Every structure is written in structure tokens, then in C-alpha cells.
Amino acid sequence: MPVLTAWTFPTGLILFLLSNLVLRLVDFRFHKNHYPLIVKALGLAAPLVAPALHAN
């Protein structure tokens, strides 16, 4: 059991810090009005990604 907690704690901490960083970056980008750009990029990527997902 000590091995499990020793493994899960740093991993959980790293995941928490990474998710926090990603959220801060996303928040920063949205405040800079990149939201329409992201939506356009997703709109362009969707037709390319969808056939690949359906193929698998």
C-alpha cells in the first residue's frame, strides 16, 4: 500500500498542475479574443478527423 500512495500522489499532483496550467492558458487565450479562431480551427478540423474516426 505505501508504494501505491507514493505513486498516486505525485502523479495526481502532476496531473493537477498540468490541468491548472492548461486552464490558465485557455483562459488567457479566451480573454485575448482567440475564441472565434479556435472555433474556426475546430470547424476545419472536424471534417478531417471524423472520417479517420469512422475508418477505425
Alpha-carbon torsion (27, 31, 35, 41), positive or negative = negative
pLDDT at 1: 47
DSSP state of 38: H
Q: Confidence band (pLDDT; 50, 70, 90) for 55?
A: low
Grid cell listed for 35: 475564441
Predicted structure pTM score: 0.35
pLDDT tens, 7-36? 566 777 788 888 888 877 777 666 666 667
